[in-house]
Structure 1
Amino acid sequence: MQNPFVIARGAKTEAVVVVATIRQGAFAGRGECTPYARYGESVDSVTQQIESVRAAIEAGADRATLQALLPAGAARNALDCALWDLDAKMTGVPAYQLAGLHRLAPCVTAFTLSVGTPDEMARAAQAAADRPVLKVKLAGAGDSARLAAVRAAAPEAELIVDANEAWRPENLDENFAACAAAGVALVEQPLPAGADALLAERRWPVAICADESVHDRKGLAALRPRYDLVNVKLDKTGGLTEALALADEAEQLGFGLFVGCMVASSLAMAPALLLAGRARFVDLDGPLLLARDRPEGLRYQGSTIFPPDPALWG
């Protein structure tokens, strides 16, 4: 990592990922995932899940079959994205065309500011003030001061905030008021998943996006009274296949889309770009937070991400 990445649940100084490679003849497809402890995952558990379906994959299991072999999560994501990449390599048809898209255009990503003191976050915001969208990590107590400091340091940037389940009923009004005062466009996952019913009881002054509360299509409709948008992350959905289906159903239910990521390399970001054109916000800045990316990684120009070279993925 370039700097420690700090959210409400703790800090990390490195990105630990798992890469699945599936070969057929001269062709190879790759997919990358990030095991996430919040969801009970580790490198060992994800590796074990991948190995548990090795025989089925080697026997020719395709993307549709894979959905029934593994649950949503990081392991299935790595394999699903590897199968998309393999299909693109074998057919010579780019993955975005296989997904029914006519083109894959550049997009603008948010840039994430870690949780810190108001002064620390103001300095980070000032350094990134020329970026069009800043994603501000929050932690509950003291968030009003953090938001005011970031807004003063980056007066022109569009702000979105991510509470990572750290707010509580007793500080919702104060924190939402601080967001409104700072001109925040969106609040991501203010309350813990499973304890967010309060969000449906009234209208809030800022749009609310579900993250930890939504993984795949199961239970999506029940979240509609609570949230305005859903954060589609491939490590939650278990790959691009379910992510595309989740996006379709979410739009049919009236949700806006937010495309997010874990901290990972460009190999993990590339498949998510197939959803970017449909999203109100894109948060695929993982490689920008790393000390180094893959040599064939995505091209970032400021906050603009350009489509992947086939050597990377798809």
Structure 2
Amino acid sequence: MKRESFVINDASASLIQAPLATPFRIATGQHDELANIFLRIRTSDGICGYGEAAVATHITGETVAATLVNLQTAATALRGRRIDDPEEVCREFAPAFAGNHAGLAALEMALLDTSSRVQGIPFYRLFAPVAAKEPLLSFDTDITIVIGSLDEARAAARQFAGQGFKAFKIKIGRDEELDFSRILAVREIAPDSELILDANMGFSAERILAFLNRLDKHAVRPVLLEQPVPKKDWDGLAAITAALAGSG
């Protein structure tokens, strides 16, 4: 698809902070507050595009402070520049964002968002020829049920099922018995839903396989298992893969 070029009149990056309505609890920690970097681009015609960097220091090693500096530097460099190809601009800036993928993602999103708004088209139309294949009207996504009490898991499952979600990512890894009960509760409330288990590195290979075997005896078979063991436990990941191969 031919894209219209645009001139960036102004660009700015700033920190946005806000308390979370529900603490985001996982096996390796907890977030009580949103602290992301917001990138805003404004064209010479007054059209604005936006990008956001969600930094997860405990997982990727990136920091909010470094991401803010990188995006502020990029914003300064973009002012007054004509953009013909957003992807090419991202490739140009990529070395400056080495090890800071959240920052580069925010830059990419802001440029592409601006491009779609300049052209007056839905965002997905930028991705031709994929978007040219019909139907491409909607897609399903999952919703996360964070670590918490059994009652909290039930309440979240009822709320999200009522909102139409059909896939639930359940955070596990702190308390196996409680995790087991939470998963069964979600399955009971949403019996036709897909379940994803995200352990955030909270298990060993032996423990997660035993845990999955227990669930299987209750006819609960997750469609995806995410981060079951510490990220450098290659042997554990290989053992899990081998054990689950062909399990369906």
Same fold (TM > 0.5): yes
**Higher helix residue share:** 2
1:142-221 alignment, distance < 5 Å: 142=176, 143-180=179-216, 181-201=219-239, 202-204=242-244
Q: From 52, 73, 96, give the equivalent of 1:69.
A: 96
Q: Which has the higher contact order (CA 8 A, sep 6+)?
A: 1
State the identity as a percent.
Answer: 28
Paired residue total = 208
User: Is 1:177–1:205's contact at 8 Å kept on the other side of the alignment?
Assistant: no
User: Is 2:201–2:228's contact at 8 Å kept on the other side of the alignment?
Assistant: yes
Give the direction of change, closer, same or farther, for the CA distance of 1:149–1:196 in structure 2 (3 Å limit): farther
CA distance in 2, matches of 1:205, 1:183: 14
Q: From 66, 80, 90, give the equivalent of 2:108.
A: 80
Is 2:156 the partner of 1:135? no
Q: CA RMSD for the aligned pairs?
A: 2.8
CA distance in 2, matches of 1:192, 1:57: 39
After TM superposition, the structure 1 stretch with the greater mean CA deviation from structure 2, 127-136 or 20-29, is 127-136
Is 2:105 the partner of 1:105? no
1:112-123 alignment, distance < 5 Å: 112-123=144-155
Give the direction of change, closer, same or farther, for the CA distance of 1:78–1:57 in structure 2 (3 Å limit): same
Aligned to 1:37: 57
Runs of 4+ in structure 1 over 6 Å off:
205-208
CA distance in 1, matches of 2:30, 2:190: 24
Gaps of 5+ in 1: 209-314
- TM-score of the pair, normalised by structure 1: 0.58
- TM-score of the pair, normalised by structure 2: 0.71
Query: CA offset at residue 121 of structure 1?
Result: 2.2
The structure whose Rg is larger is 2
Give the direction of change, closer, same or farther, for the CA distance of 1:146–1:196 in structure 2 (3 Å limit): farther
CA distance in 1, matches of 2:247, 2:91: 34
Aligned to 1:248: none
Give the direction of change, closer, same or farther, for the CA distance of 1:11–1:198 in structure 2 (3 Å limit): closer
Gaps of 5+ in 2: 1-19, 84-88
User: Is 2:40–2:51's contact at 8 Å kept on the other side of the alignment?
Assistant: yes
**Higher strand residue share:** 2
User: Is 1:123–1:153's contact at 8 Å kept on the other side of the alignment?
Assistant: no
Q: From 12, 19, 41, give the equivalent of 2:38.
A: 19
